[in-house]
Amino acid sequence: MIFRQLFDQETWTYTYLIADPVSKDAVLIDPVNTHIDDYIALLEEHDLQLKYSLETHVHADHITASGLLRQRLGAQTAVSQFCGAETADIQIQDGDVFKFANGEQIKVIATPGHTRGSISFLWRDRLFTGDSLLIGGCGRTDFQGGDAGALYDCITQRLFTLPDETLVYPGHDYQQHWVSSIMQERTTNPRLAGKTREQFIEIMNNLNLPKPRLIDEAVPANRYCGLDENERQDAVVLRDTTRPVRVTTSTDDLVAAAKQQITEINVAKSKQLIAEGNIVIVDTREESEYAAGHIDGALLLPRGVLEFKIDSIPELADKSKAVLIYCRSGNRSALAAQTMQLMGYTNVLSMAGGFEAWKKNV
């Protein structure tokens, strides 16, 4: 097998290539957009066919190359279903297995905590931990649905229970470490070895790290496989029409599940509540859609940046206040409403049919 650990010096990110020289199947884990040409050259050098571009999570510090790899090479993009990245071909679930080459398997282990959708991949004796478990450290837990308790639980219960000799390949290293092992991390990681859950949470809550430099750009872009607004439409078309997709959970399934959990109201009811006042209207479409026309008084909060922009909106500080959320057709807003409920908002209403339906009812 071919195995390469690649490094992006700008963001201290590791990308991994796993490939089979016989069948020519190749998989990339956490590719970085600025290295797209390097990846293509490397694949060409070995005459490889990129089958999957896998993400350990929606990254806050760099932009993924997955959307470009899909466009250029036809690879399938995959990210956890809990990342809010619905344009990825595969919405990964815990326990999923990616099969490639002659019997090779990459197994998915959900390791939430750095972000809600963080996962680790296990291939043979190699564990790709993303930013869940780092060498002598772990990913921060202060944004994107981060949760220190959840991180402690999954590292201690799911990763540290793997065989001692399992090799740990992280998503970043800021001190020029390359590889570790489960035994090394279990016995020497200063945040985890001999630490109780409470001690770990205390450490994580007091890191006081500055925000990643690229977060405002990277998170929304990565929810669209790293593509910019102009490239995104193609991404959806490609996914929907050109290739069979091994989807464990499709976007439609996610929307349907969200609609079970939230409250939808129609345009007439929305108008009535707006007229009565005391309701915050949130437009969860992209900035360009908002600029082209929106409901009077609506606050712009694109779905891609919802979790980390919401705290800066004073009108949404009170989580019990009534919120009417809408998008173009009612799907994105259902997902956004579900996210807000998970964040503790208790009175979120999604407008069925979205702005399209609203315009018809003026």
Residues found near Fe ion in the complex (CB under 5 A) = 131
Q: In terms of Cα–Cα distance, which of 109, 112, 106 is closest to 158?
A: 109
- State in angstroms the smallest separation of the CB of 137 from Fe ion: 12
Rounded distance, CA 241 to CA 98, Å? 22
The interface partner of residue 11, options being Fe ion, ligand GSH, none and the CB cut-off 5 to 8 Å by kind, is: ligand GSH
- State in angstroms the smallest separation of the CB of 332 from Fe ion: 24
Q: Give, as ranges, the residues between 92 and 121 that touch ligand GSH (CB under 6 A).
A: 114
Q: In terms of Cα–Cα distance, which of 306, 298, 300, 312 is closest to 336?
A: 306
Q: Give, as ranges, the residues between 139 and 158 that touch ligand GSH (CB under 6 A).
A: 139-140
The interface partner of residue 170, options being ligand GSH, Fe ion, none and the CB cut-off 5 to 8 Å by kind, is: none
- State in angstroms the smallest separation of the CB of 212 from Fe ion: 8
- State in angstroms the smallest separation of the CB of 58 from Fe ion: 8
The interface partner of residue 213, options being ligand GSH, Fe ion, none and the CB cut-off 5 to 8 Å by kind, is: ligand GSH
| Contact residues for 261 (Cβ-Cβ < 8 A; gap 6+) | 338, 341
- State in angstroms the smallest separation of the CB of 118 from ligand GSH: 10
Q: Which C-beta is closer to ligand GSH: that of 211 or that of 246?
A: 211
Sole window of 29-37, 56-64, 158-166, 312-320 interacting with ligand GSH (rule: CB under 6 A) = 56-64
Q: Which C-beta is closer to ligand GSH: that of 51 or that of 191?
A: 191
Q: What are the E-state strand segments in the chain?
A: 2-8, 13-19, 25-29, 49-54, 76-80, 90-92, 97-100, 104-110, 119-123, 126-130, 133-134, 137-138, 167-170, 180-181, 263-265, 280-283, 299-300, 323-326, 348-351
Specify whether the CB–CB gap between 61 and 214 falls below 8 A: yes
- State in angstroms the smallest separation of the CB of 134 from ligand GSH: 7
Residue with tokens 């921060």, as numbered in its chain: 140
Sole window of 31-39, 81-89, 131-139, 162-170 interacting with ligand GSH (rule: CB under 6 A) = 131-139
Among residues 60, 75, 155, 306, which is the contact residue for ligand GSH, using CB under 6 A? Answer: 60
- 61 in contact with ligand GSH (CB under 6 A): yes
Q: And the tokens for 330?
A: 């009612």
Backbone angles phi, psi at 79, to 5 degrees: -150, 155
Rounded distance, CA 247 to CA 300, Å? 31
Q: Which C-beta is closer to Fe ion: that of 131 or that of 185?
A: 131
Q: Which C-beta is closer to ligand GSH: that of 172 or that of 303?
A: 172
Among residues 25, 30, 96, 131, which is the contact residue for ligand GSH, using CB under 6 A? Answer: 131
- State in angstroms the smallest separation of the CB of 87 from Fe ion: 19
- 212 in contact with ligand GSH (CB under 6 A): yes
Rounded distance, CA 152 to CA 144, Å? 17
- State in angstroms the smallest separation of the CB of 125 from ligand GSH: 25
Sole window of 58-66, 191-199, 259-267, 327-335 interacting with ligand GSH (rule: CB under 6 A) = 58-66
Specify whether the CB–CB gap between 205 and 186 falls below 8 A: no
Specify whether the CB–CB gap between 191 and 180 falls below 8 A: no
DSSP string covering 76-108, please?
EEEEEGGGS-TTSSEEE-TT-EEEETTTEEEEE
- Number of other residues whose CB lies within 10 A of the CB of residue 315: 12
Residue with tokens 């909106």, as numbered in its chain: 313
Q: How do 280-283 and 49-54 pair as beta strands? A: unpaired
- 209 in contact with ligand GSH (CB under 6 A): yes
- State in angstroms the smallest separation of the CB of 328 from ligand GSH: 30
The interface partner of residue 209, options being ligand GSH, Fe ion, none and the CB cut-off 5 to 8 Å by kind, is: ligand GSH
For ligand GSH, the binding residues (CB under 6 A) are 11, 59-61, 114, 131, 137, 139-140, 172, 174, 209, 212-213
